[in-house]
Structure 1
Amino acid sequence: MTTHLKVSICLPTCNRPELIVQCIDSCLAQTYANIEIVIGDDSKDERTRRLIAERYQHDSRVRYLKNEPSLGQARNVASLFARASGDRILLIHDDDYLVDNGIERLLMPWQTYPDLDVVFADQYEVDAKGHVDRAASDRLNADFYRTKQAEGLQIPPGRTGLIQMFPNNGWLADARLVKQISYEEQYGMSCDFVFGVKLCLAAKQVYYLNEYVSYYRKTAVSVSANTRGSMAAASVSAYAFLAGLKLDPALEPARRTALRRIVPIVVSVHAKNGAPLSGFRIALGHPFAYKHGFSLRLYYHLMLLARAALKAGPRRMGGAF
């Protein structure tokens, strides 16, 4: 394993000093030593700043910056990418963490495929206290098409992002490409999904490694969990992005796979938020997402939409056909 390549670990954080220590310590414990940890702190108080100063002030690998004022998710991550000085970039969120040889494992495919742009691997699912649930971990990765059979170069590479095979953190990619794509604030809560799609579409080669390299902490207090049922949900903006994306015809099956997962979620959100006409339009415009009428979920959602329409009345239907 060569060590001349510098890896920038980009770590956005916001109001989670009780979790970030485990994340930072996992980065500092990497078997691959040529790293920097670039931290962008969007916290509303000084707890994280004080913690970093007390615990890591003498470690030059830790580069901390308090965002004043706060930047928000997308701009915080984009600022980290811009500050990164490494040849490769790895993103890890403050409540997640890495296995000790995670970076070393992610670098290995470059030895065989030197033209790689992106490498990603599996994530353990852990609870709020960091306990690994192996069965849930296996299901998590299988749900996103990360299986032994899929290991290797992903052809075409753009398919990887579209079908959500690409994880939201714990990946490793060429720094120049990451900086070129970056995170975009306009996509709201789906900015990480949009980034993954655009990154894989722009990449020459994407590699999936069927090994666990990171820990994904599942909590009930994440921003995505708190917005899941609202019109600010990641699914809503992700659907709009997918529906409007111009793609090569060869990637249309991947778009359909993505929409098959996301359309029923978005229809449900519209029903819950008093926009039944938009919900009807989306549901009826993508019949394949409901197995062309052979899914009970379709009729349940149509019932929810009809109920929302009756409740809203003629002047508050929301959306148009």
Structure 2
Amino acid sequence: MTITTRVSICLPTYNRPDLLIRCIESCLAQTHSNIEIVIGDDSPDTHTGHLIARRFAHDARIVYRRNVPALGQARNVASLFERASGDKILLIHDDDFLLDTAIERLLAQWALHPGIEAAFGKQYEADASGRIDQAASGRMNRAYHRTAAAAGLQRLAGRTGIVQMFPNNGWLANAALVKRIGYGAGDNEQFAVCCDFVFGVRLCLAARDVCYVDEYVSCYRKTAQSVSQATRLTPGASSLAAWRFLEALTLPPELEPARRLALHRLVPIVVSLLARNRQARAGLNLALTHLYAYRFGLSVRLYYHLLMIWKSAWLARQSAPAQRFENDEQGVNVTRTRVP
């Protein structure tokens, strides 16, 4: 199976040619060689395409397409899934990269557990230069429940996606399932910023069985340009969108504990975001209705966030008179412009 199974590596990119080359090289270095690398380029110019042509012109495994006009992340990935011709699909983003044995290790799980539809492993965390941070990697995987105790078939496949155990990339799944689920936020644009998470949840909810391999298979690079980093303190933060998605999700009773566990991690982050963005009342309501996320008042973090909420409300009150004055002044100016 390791030899005959064709794997489509789907690789979306946007204006990061140097990082993309490192990612492509990690794909070409796979010990499982029966692959295609399907690239969707949203870059505003042809530099990335020319660089790929110079470096990899004679490698038939690379299938490159520049999107004109650009599709955006969700539609770009969706188009890659549609173009993929392999039996299995793996997603990797252009600033991340695979370990050489990633596909071989993941693909081996189908021989051990023939009924599975998806497999994934641990991720390294690296800085912008690609230097791996071992301590941060350990913390990240523990936070997402990727531990030795969790290895093997997951008892509830849907739980794997809900608690974000399923990673944003570096996973391997049956192409038929991936194509059926599709990618993106559907008609709800507020979830677009967390489309990796939305896809992971939907895929795991639909999968018959999911397997976790307690080995590192990919590397997640933290850069200032990533969506999660660029928006993390704004009203458009991915964590806020993920919380809204989880709140709205219809789940069977056996998965409600998974939702609660996921919200336990997300709620304090969202309360902090709401306070930072002067949405004090929303932040207070969320904190008080999800006190379990603060150990029912035993967490110091709760009182710090209440202080943030108080400061947010105070700043809002202070800015209100100034805003009214500014609006009045604008009204006067508009009136004056109408006088001949």
Partner of 1:167, secondary structure, is: coil
Q: Is the counterpart of residue 286 in structure 1 residue 264 in structure 2?
A: no
Q: For residue 246 of structure 2, what is the aligned residue in structure 1? A: 242
Q: What TM-score comes out, normalization by structure 2 length?
A: 0.90
Greater displacement, 224-233 / 38-47: 38-47
Letter in 2 for 1:274: R
**d(CA) in 1 for partners of 2:183, 2:286:** 27
Q: For residue 151 of structure 2, what is the aligned residue in structure 1? A: 151
Distance 1:149 1:59, change over 3 A: same
- Map Cα deviations across residues 72-129 of structure 1 (whole Å, 9 max, x no partner): 1111111111111111000001111111111011000100211111100011222222
Q: Is the counterpart of residue 295 in structure 1 residue 307 in structure 2?
A: no
Task: Summarize the alignment of residues 80-229 of structure 1 with structure 2, pairs less than 5 Å apart.
Answer: 80-185=80-185, 186=189, 187-229=191-233
Q: For residue 268 of structure 1, what is the aligned residue in structure 2? A: 272
Letter in 2 for 1:212: Y
Check whether the contact 2:271–2:305 (CA below 8 A) recurs between aligned residues: yes
Letter in 1 for 2:275: A
- Map Cα deviations across residues 125-146 of structure 1 (whole Å, 9 max, x no partner): 2222222222222222112111
Q: What's the CA shift for 1:223?
A: 2.2
Q: Which of the two has higher C-alpha Rg? A: 2
Identity across the alignment (%): 58
Check whether the contact 2:194–2:238 (CA below 8 A) recurs between aligned residues: yes
Greater displacement, 305-314 / 62-71: 305-314
**d(CA) in 1 for partners of 2:57, 2:145:** 41
Q: What's the CA shift for 1:254?
A: 0.8
Q: For residue 335 of structure 2, what is the aligned residue in structure 1? A: none
Check whether the contact 2:228–2:237 (CA below 8 A) recurs between aligned residues: yes
Letter in 2 for 1:239: W
Aligned residue-pair number: 316
Q: What's the CA shift for 1:148?
A: 0.9
Q: For residue 3 of structure 1, what is the aligned residue in structure 2? A: 3
Partner of 1:120, secondary structure, is: strand
Q: For residue 67 of structure 1, what is the aligned residue in structure 2? A: 67
Q: What TM-score comes out, normalization by structure 1 length?
A: 0.95
Letter in 2 for 1:48: T
Q: For residue 312 of structure 1, what is the aligned residue in structure 2? A: 316
Q: What's the CA shift for 1:22?
A: 1.1
Q: For residue 12 of structure 1, what is the aligned residue in structure 2? A: 12
Check whether the contact 1:126–1:218 (CA below 8 A) recurs between aligned residues: yes
Check whether the contact 1:7–1:88 (CA below 8 A) recurs between aligned residues: yes
**d(CA) in 1 for partners of 2:98, 2:312:** 44
Q: What's the CA shift for 1:161?
A: 0.7
Q: What's the CA shift for 1:306?
A: 2.0
**d(CA) in 2 for partners of 1:223, 1:249:** 33
Check whether the contact 1:160–1:200 (CA below 8 A) recurs between aligned residues: yes
Q: What's the CA shift for 1:313?
A: 3.2
Ranges in structure 2 where 5+ consecutive residues have no aligned partner: 321-340
Greater displacement, 273-282 / 251-260: 273-282
Greater displacement, 133-142 / 248-257: 133-142
Check whether the contact 2:2–2:104 (CA below 8 A) recurs between aligned residues: no
Letter in 1 for 2:42: D
Greater displacement, 101-110 / 125-134: 125-134
Q: What's the CA shift for 1:315?
A: 10
Q: What's the CA shift for 1:301?
A: 1.2
Task: Summarize the alignment of residues 33-52 of structure 1 with structure 2, pairs less than 5 Å apart.
Answer: 33-52=33-52
Greater displacement, 232-241 / 273-282: 273-282
**d(CA) in 1 for partners of 2:145, 2:64:** 35
Greater displacement, 164-173 / 277-286: 277-286
- Map Cα deviations across residues 284-310 of structure 1 (whole Å, 9 max, x no partner): 121111111111111211221122222
Greater displacement, 90-99 / 178-187: 178-187
Q: Is the counterpart of residue 230 in structure 1 residue 234 in structure 2?
A: yes
Letter in 2 for 1:161: G
Letter in 1 for 2:87: D
Check whether the contact 2:2–2:32 (CA below 8 A) recurs between aligned residues: no
Check whether the contact 1:96–1:216 (CA below 8 A) recurs between aligned residues: yes
**d(CA) in 1 for partners of 2:157, 2:296:** 29
Check whether the contact 1:188–1:232 (CA below 8 A) recurs between aligned residues: no
